[in-house]
A and B are shown apart, each in its own frame.
Chain A
Amino acid sequence: AQKITQTQPGMFVQEKEAVTLDCTYDTSDQSYGLFWYKQPSSGEMIFLIYQGSYDEQNATEGRYSLNFQKARKSANLVISASQLGDSAMYFCAMRAWGNKLVFGAGTILRVKS
């Protein structure tokens, strides 16, 4: 079975600083995908970034990058130059067959001015 673990229930970061949100995963599949989603207080789910298990380069999307360490089974999200609008819940997820996603419990990020 696949499992996602996010060990940080909540994080604080100063505006303009970088922050890393941790995610570890467990799977016996050789081919898998890892996602990060953002959920602001308004409730919608916003796709941030995707990393395939065979991708050799770490994924980047603007201020978001995914630090993929396959041997450690970790897929940490790095947000650079934090903004007040980054305050939200962040979910790490793994793709299973049929594009089903298994989600972690989430990390609440608060950006301080």
Chain B
Amino acid sequence: NAGVTQTPKFQVLKTGQSMTLQCAQDMNHEYMSWYRQDPGMGLRLIHYSVGAGITDQGEVPNGYNVSRSTTEDFPLRLLSAAPSQTSVYFCASSPRRNTGELFFGEGSRLTVL
């Protein structure tokens, strides 16, 4: 039972570097999303997707890109990392039905120096 798999779990970047956080789910869920968690602010939505080929911005999309070429994968790209992007990132997926809980990955802790 893999569920939602995020890699890497930890990453340290220098300002200006780029990287991709990978997210894969094996539950055939239509919906996938990325959140960031910062102290005292709960989780905030970065980008989301309601199906392959469809993505849209969430509450805090600046500095991040996403794509959804398959149902299973939803990578999050940081094109030019900034210290303000130091955070814990969660990928989540859910089925289309309205009562679907979100299934979260284990989180990726990113530090930008």
Contact = CB atoms under 8 A, between A and B. Distances in A.
A68 interface: no
Contacts of A98: 31, 48, 50, 56
A47 B40 contact: no
Interface string B91-112: 0101010111111101100000
Nearest to A4: B42
A35 B94 CA distance: 13
A43 B100 contact: no
Contacts of B100: 99
Interface residues of B, number: 27
Given A35-B101, A43-B106, A103 B48 contact: no
Nearest to A35: B101
Contacts of B35: 101, 103
A101 B98 contact: no
Interface in B12-67: 31, 33, 35, 40-45, 48, 50, 56, 58
Contacts of A88: none
A47 B102 contact: yes
Nearest to B54: A98
A105 interface: yes
B31 A44 contact: no
A93 B56 CA distance: 20
Given A33-B99, A35-B101, A98-B50, A44 B43 contact: no
Contacts of A99: 31, 33, 94, 96, 100, 102
22 contacts: A4-B42, A33-B98, A33-B99, A43-B107, A44-B104, A44-B107, A45-B90, A45-B104, A45-B107, A47-B103, A50-B99, A52-B99, A91-B43, A93-B43, A98-B31, A98-B48, A99-B94, A99-B96, A99-B100, A100-B48, A101-B92, A105-B41
Interface of B: 31, 33, 35, 40-45, 48, 50, 56, 58, 88, 90, 92, 94, 96, 98-104, 106-107
Interface of A: 4, 31, 33, 35, 43-45, 47, 50, 52, 91, 93, 95, 98-106
